[in-house]
Amino acid sequence: MIRALQNSRPYILSLISIFMAFHIGWGKETRSCNLSHEGIMKPFCDLCGCATNSGSFGFGTLSNSNFIGLRYVHQSFESRDGIFSDSPSSNEYLNTYQLWAQIPILQNIYATASLPYQDLKRKFENRSIEEALNGIGDASVMGWYKWQFYKKEDTVAVPYPVTRPLSKHSIQFGVGAKLPTGEFEERLTDRVNPGFQVGTGSFDGIFSLGYNYGGDKIGFNALLTYYLKGANKNDYRFGNQFSYVGTSFYRIPFNKFSLMPFLGISGDIYNEIEQFGERLADTDGRILNGTIGAECTLNRVILGANLAVPVAQDLFGDNVQAQERLSFYVNFSL
């Protein structure tokens, strides 16, 4: 049975991908999604939803190991609160506490999942009032297939190795979904920014392709992710999103632990938002970040810190400026 399943593994995976792609594509045509919340979301809100969930931030650890852990992410934005160049601005502070995990399922199949708790604050330049909101955000679940390359056959070596040695290269494919689990508060729809919510209210498809190189000393990870976004109850569809991340790290072994400083880039490209089948002007955007950080492995505990600094950005007609994003995590290897 196990062998049968292993043989059919690629088929099952392709079936899932095709099914999901078809399903979401079909959902796009009928343009309605029932699982969502009420109220409209400003483009900004998709940033809250995705900044902490995004492919540009990675789904796991540097060494791509299995784990369960806790991640804290702090990010702030400055957005213009009006239509004029000198309109007052507001600052949004997003604190996310996230339960995240990478869980092995079969030898080459694993799942990643995250469930965020969002704690959002918004301060207005010209007013003393402050908006605050917290609650469970949008969860995401992904299934991954890891294609581990083997070393080339060495004809001189022993002719009957029990298992072929693994190479340092691997490729992963992931398919998953972001679920509208974020709670919605009715009262906020009457406020200045009704989009100040912990969730986007939409069901989104996530498709990823990753490459890993893990040498003894240095390693490199690359990940491309595409988000196919569904519409929420208000027929509001955030623009599809393409995220990329590239990270290289260096392993410094110590007696009891190892330290891996890393350096990389990450970015997101957003399409325009659609509502009721019409595109909304100035709702597309792009951002490129430089990332720096380190991971420390001590027995089964992985501690990590990651700082992303915007290098270039043009978000939503330049009405929103993303600032540094800082995250810390504690993971326990499985």
Residues 6+ apart with CB under 8 A from 170: 64, 146, 147, 148, 149, 211, 212, 214
* Shorter beta-carbon distance to another protein: residue 24 or 73: 24
Residue 30 interacting with another protein (CB under 8 A): yes
- Residue 192 interacting with another protein (CB under 8 A): yes
Q: Is 32 in the site for another protein (CB under 8 A)?
A: yes
Question: Considering the rule CB under 8 A, would residue 85 count as an interface residue with another protein?
Answer: yes
Token readout for 10 is: 């690629």
We find the least distance from the C-beta atom of residue 2 to another protein, in angstroms, to be 7
199 touches another protein (CB under 8 A)? no
Provide the minimum distance between the beta carbon of 185 and another protein in the complex, in angstroms, as a whole number: 15
C-beta of 247 vs 275, nearer to another protein: 275
Task: Kindly give, in sequence order, each residue whose CB lies less than 8 Å from that of residue 247, ignoring residues fewer than 6 positions away.
Answer: 58, 62, 220, 221, 222, 262, 263, 264, 291
Q: Contact between 7 and another protein (CB under 8 A)? A: no
Place of tokens 């959002």: 120
- 275 counts as binding another protein under rule CB under 8 A: yes
Question: d(Cα 60, Cα 52) in Å, to the nearest integer?
Answer: 12
Q: Which two tokens stand for residue 164?
A: 């072929």
Query: Is residue 10 involved in binding another protein (CB under 8 A)?
Result: no
Interface with another protein (CB under 8 A), residue total 52
Cβ(120)–Cβ(132) below 8 Å: yes
| x-or-dash string of contact with another protein, 146-165, rule CB under 8 A | --------------------
Distance CA 32, CA 236 (A): 9
Among residues 202, 201, 251, the alpha carbon closest in space to that of 227 is found at 202
The residue among 65 and 189 lying less far from another protein, judged by its C-beta, is 189
Q: Which of 226, 223, 245 is nearest to 291 (CA)?
A: 245
**Quick check: 131 binds another protein (CB under 8 A)?**
no
Residues that bind another protein (CB under 8 A): 1-2, 5, 12, 16, 19-20, 23-24, 26-27, 30-35, 39-40, 81-88, 103, 105-106, 109, 111, 126-127, 141, 143, 175-177, 179, 189, 192, 194, 203, 230, 234, 275-276, 278-281
